[in-house]
Amino acid sequence: MAQSPSDAASGAKSHHDILRRMSLSSPGLQRKNSLVDVDPRAANPTLGLSGGVISATFCIPHSLQLRSGADWGTGTRRGTSALFDSFKHLSSDKTPWNHTLVGWTGEINVPDDLTPPDTPPATTTASRIPPLNKSSAPIPVDVFTKPAEQPQSEGLWVSKSDQSRLEWQLAHDKECRTIPVWLSDDTEGDAEGALCLRDQSRWRRYAEHELYTLFHYKQHEPTNGRAERASWADYYRMNQKFANRILEVYKPGDIVMIHDYHLLLLPSMLRLRIPHMYIAFFLHIPFPSSEFLRCLPRRKDVLEGVLGSNLIGFQAHGYSRHFVSCCTRILGFHSDITGVDAYGARVTVGVFPIGIDAAGVAKLAFDNPIINDQVKALRRLYEGKKIIVGRDRLDSVRGVAQKLMAFERFLEKYPEMREKVVLLQVTSPTSIEEEKGDSNNKIANKVSELVAKINGLYGSLGFSPVQHYPQYLSQDEYFALLRAGDTGLITSVRDGMNTTSLEYVVCQRDDHGPLILSEFSGTAGSLKDAIHINPWDLTGVADAINYALTMSEDKKSAMHQSLHHHVTTRTVQAWSNGFLKRLLSVLNSHNATIATPLLDKVALLTQYRAANKRLFMFDYDGTLTPIVKDPAAALPSDRLIRTLKALATDPRNAIWIISGRDQEFLQHQLGHIPEIGFSAEHGSFMRHPGSKEWENLAEKFDMSWQKEVFDCFQKYTEMTPGSFIERKRCALTWHYRPSDPELGAHMARECQKELENTVGKKWDVEVMTGKANLEVRPTFINKGEIVKRLVAAYGHDIGQPPEFALCLGDDFTDEDMFRALNASSLNPNHVFTVTVGASSKMTLAHWHLLEPADVISSIALLNGGDGNVADLGPLAIVEGRIPEELPGGVIPDEMPGGRL
């Protein structure tokens, strides 16, 4: 053992050897194994790991209260306790990781200076927390006096010093080093760095109103979409602000772990900035089938966003199957149950059922004498009766109404159990934005009606079979409730992870009460020995309740033993370790893969606005229009023509269509836009903007080779039904898209071999394979030569190179354009080479778009030519706020708080 750092260094053969010696000598670092055994840097030397893990979650574990000029007030945030426990574990000395948590501050509160010191706690009806339903609101003493209305807040101002004070407090948090994300409009602040937090809940609005509901198989009524576009812009900006905050602390070799549906866009946003970043994503709620996800207007954006990860984790197998199916059905990516091929890389998908801190729960539940007294008091209160416990949030996916209806059916079917069983049901307000307000009142009223009906039918003056408590429970009360129960009943109709079921198993350590669990809960696949029920089958649930209450002690003990073993071994600590271990395995197997990220529209728009001269170069088929079976049917859409015209009206823009099409086609379809230049037949002919004359670049080249090529093509056309020959001025193309796919591909390979061995050896021509076609053209003619000519010409005309160059193409002939631009003298930050298509192809382009519709949307974003499809997310980031008037004169609906 080394007694000092110098002793450790003496005779050491490597840095890892020094760490091992120091770990043996330092009491604070002594563990069961040496650091060499547990340090992932030593186990994965090729990854260049830094040992750091950055976790990103929507909200930090603390609820915050601003005390201007003093330390911030902090409390424990309700919900997601298992996730917060995983952060504590990663930050502890039980792991080798250096952990940092990044999260939003959440809605910041301010203390009420008028509140007297004896004010009841926040869980009472005297607090400012709204009642769970209107009928439970307190009755005013003077019914003729109108309650004082709270003035509409103009926003909460947080000074720079207060921001710094909170960041210092959170950075020195004993349980987890935390970095807050400040969410506000960039234009709402002052020169001294103060922030104005206006309508704070808007940052969760899209995720909890659109995503949470759809992911739980609920759909909204159709709307005009204006409010949804504005909330999407906030969602996009929020993810971008998270990306910026993470990059402030990121070091090469760090692992970034992103959690849940609020941050679905974050993986790709980080991948755009750091292509080789190690990113894992875990979704804690269900993932819907493709039939439901198709109903989301931003379905592609959501899938593309999360596919920036190296590893994506889900709670259950069904959710992972839905995800890979959506990637294939919606994006066209090849996928299987293990992952998705996207943008030239493999994104691995896995199932990782999360657990709880079982040891921590057991300590809290059994080592507190207050809880012991509360358990005894509950059992005395309901002496002689079996206690069924239920604790749920009051939202539509928890199945509280189904639980009550099933309990009513139980009392009806088993009259001998009446007055022998009591259901203790606690419902706490939901934290989901979508479920608040009127929808919450509907659910609460439905629950109240069912409780009253059951107690009226089966109760008496001295006993009510349903004891309903619509309130928050303290931690002590919650664990006392779980310990006192004879049966736990969970009837969620759609659920991700249900921690109550796991905590119930731990709390039944001594009494072995059975657990009844909905098969629609994400935890059901893990707790296979629980009594699984379909919450929609009321009679089946009633039978399960009777079975659980009449089960023999031996059966209860055996069931609990299996469940308890699972919960205490598959803990949240084991989940964290296993998820990271799987990520490292994925990184080792795919470390050399280089993905082509999605086009960074923020960088594109920023550079476009800063440039004085811009050069656009578009392929036609597969880029501006979709690939179709009949090439003559690939006509430009009205939207495309509208967008190109709007782009061409700016004199700073030079627009070129560089296509394999002939002059006649391009002239007929787009020639009516005089500001556009054309290059036909892969560069054989050019027509400059404002001109009607075509320049023949292959005028002096001998075209005698065409007869021999035509004869060869004719032979294979006769052998391939449906195929045909397209004759161009400088090229010949054989199309076999209408033919049988297998026959066409086989004949194309045979034809290519024959041409390369005959014509290719006698003439200076090349045989090119396209999308369901073969083309023969002169070797010196290609799209890359046209790009070189255009860059040089426009640089000469204005005295300096273009400050913005956007080049888009979809097949291998367009790689010549990308190669020429990458090798040009243009500033790399001013060049955007974009390949179009869903295939996982190798490309020289730096960016990726999925389909021609995305190309048109990206152009529309630049010039404001189509306000109905302009992407508000990037636009709001560049401008620092949601524009009051969108491109094309579209004005979004007014949002709560008077904000547009």
More confident: 524 or 604: 604
| Range with lowest mean pLDDT among 393-407, 704-718, 746-760, 857-871 | 857-871
- What H or E segment, with its residue span, contains residue 744? helix 741-757
Residues 321 and 430 in one domain: no
Residues 393 and 450 in one domain: yes
Q: What CATH number does the domain containing 854 carry?
A: 3.40.50.1000
Handedness of CA 339, 340, 341, 342 (dihedral sign): negative
Looking at 330, 351, 372, the residue that finishes a domain is 351
Dump pLDDT digits (tens) for 164-185.
999 999 999 888 999 999 999 8
Does the pLDDT at position 321 exceed 90? yes
Cβ-based neighbour number of residue 569 at 10 Å: 10
- Could you tell me the pLDDT band of residue 885, with boundaries at 50, 70 and 90? low
Tell me the C-alpha distance between 241 and 56, whole Å: 12
Residue 707 tokens, joined:
């007869």
- What H or E segment, with its residue span, contains residue 725? strand 724-727
- Could you tell me the pLDDT band of residue 110, with boundaries at 50, 70 and 90? confident
Residues 729 and 860 in one domain: no
Tell me the C-alpha distance between 79 and 310, whole Å: 28
Tell me the C-alpha distance between 425 and 34, whole Å: 49
Q: What is the average per-residue pLDDT within 478-504? A: 89
- Could you tell me the pLDDT band of residue 140, with boundaries at 50, 70 and 90? very low
- Structural domain includes residue 525: yes
Does the pLDDT at position 262 exceed 90? yes
Contact 773, 730 (CB under 8 A): no
Residues 208 and 279 in one domain: yes
Does the pLDDT at position 387 exceed 60? yes
pLDDT in the model for residue 797: 66
- Could you tell me the pLDDT band of residue 374, with boundaries at 50, 70 and 90? very high
- Structural domain includes residue 709: no
Dump pLDDT digits (tens) for 595-626.
788 888 999 999 999 999 999 999 998 899 88
| Range with lowest mean pLDDT among 3-17, 419-433, 783-797, 817-831 | 3-17
The total number of structural domains that make up the chain: 4
Question: Which amino acid type is present at position 437?
Answer: G
pLDDT in the model for residue 863: 79
pLDDT in the model for residue 717: 94
**Coil, strand, or helix at residue 310?**
coil
- Structural domain includes residue 21: no
Q: What CATH number does the domain containing 439 carry?
A: 3.40.50.2000
The mean pLDDT value of the chain amounts to 83
Dump pLDDT digits (tens) for 266-314.
999 999 888 889 999 999 999 999 989 998 989 999 999 999 999 999 9
- Could you tell me the pLDDT band of residue 431, with boundaries at 50, 70 and 90? low
Tell me the C-alpha distance between 416 and 236, whole Å: 58
- Could you tell me the pLDDT band of residue 434, with boundaries at 50, 70 and 90? very low
Residues 545 and 508 in one domain: yes
User: How many residues make up the chain in this entry?
Assistant: 900
- Could you tell me the pLDDT band of residue 99, with boundaries at 50, 70 and 90? very high
- Could you tell me the pLDDT band of residue 590, with boundaries at 50, 70 and 90? confident
Q: Residue 881 burial by CB count (10 A; 0-12/13-18/19+): exposed, middle or buried?
A: middle
Cβ-based neighbour number of residue 662 at 10 Å: 19
Tokens 């955007």 belong to residue: 832
Residues 437 and 342 in one domain: no
pLDDT in the model for residue 75: 86
Does the pLDDT at position 37 exceed 50? no
Residues 537 and 624 in one domain: no
pLDDT in the model for residue 384: 87
Does the pLDDT at position 128 exceed 50? no
Residues of the domain holding 457: 358-569
Does the pLDDT at position 1 exceed 70? no
- Structural domain includes residue 133: no
- Structural domain includes residue 145: no
| Range with lowest mean pLDDT among 37-41, 214-218, 881-885 | 881-885
562: left (phi over 0), alpha (psi -120 to 50) or beta: alpha
Residues 413 and 554 in one domain: yes
Does the pLDDT at position 711 exceed 70? yes
Q: What is the average per-residue pLDDT within 143-160? A: 59
pLDDT in the model for residue 893: 40
- Could you tell me the pLDDT band of residue 761, with boundaries at 50, 70 and 90? confident
Dump pLDDT digits (tens) for 69-92.
889 998 888 777 889 999 999 999
Residues 631 and 518 in one domain: no
- Structural domain includes residue 192: no
Contact 835, 841 (CB under 8 A): yes
Residues 343 and 483 in one domain: no
- Structural domain includes residue 588: no
Looking at 755, 776, 797, the residue that finishes a domain is 776
More confident: 143 or 332: 332
Dump pLDDT digits (tens) for 646-655.
898 898 999 9
- Structural domain includes residue 37: no
Share of the chain above pLDDT 90, in %: 41
More confident: 20 or 441: 441
Residues 620 and 686 in one domain: yes
Residues 506 and 624 in one domain: no
- Could you tell me the pLDDT band of residue 144, with boundaries at 50, 70 and 90? very low
pLDDT in the model for residue 543: 94
| Range with lowest mean pLDDT among 342-351, 723-732, 802-811 | 723-732
